[in-house]
Amino acid sequence: MTEQTFTLPDLGEGLVEATVLEWLVEPGSRVERNQPLVELETTKSAVEIPSPHTGTVVRLHAEEGQVLEVGEALVTFEVADAAGIVGTVPAEDRPTRRVRLKPPQE
């Protein structure tokens, strides 16, 4: 089990902060990936932010009504194994087969 902290993502359109309207989870809650976590309000709209992980909520880093800037800690999860970056191969799973980029010369 590892802890993963999820920060306030860039909500687009040049928005640099958001206000926490309502938490939809609490510490100790088990959440699934894409389950709604929190409702935020920006200068343009109210949005629900989904969970990027499946795991247990360890800590909420903001109170309802608090303003957060993009990149500030939002919630910390305890997860079984951290997902890697899309398009990368974990070191222990490196392929053993070589791929030729040009055909062999005869």
- 78, 68 contact by CB (below 8 A): no
List the Cα angle 58/63/74 in 5-degree steps: 50
Q: Quote the mean pLDDT of the chain.
A: 84
Domains of the chain, by residue range, sit at 2-83
Top-confidence residue, 92 or 33: 33
Top-confidence residue, 51 or 82: 51
Top-confidence residue, 101 or 105: 105
For 21-37, the pLDDT digits (tens) are 999 999 999 999 999 99
Q: Is the pTM of this model over 0.95?
A: no
> So what's the pLDDT on residue 55?
93
- 64, 23 contact by CB (below 8 A): yes
Which CATH number does the domain 2-83 belong to among 2.40.160.20, 1.10.10.10, 2.40.50.100, 1.10.443.10? Answer: 2.40.50.100
Quick one: 35 exposed, middle or buried, by C-beta within 10 A (0-12, 13-18, 19+)? middle
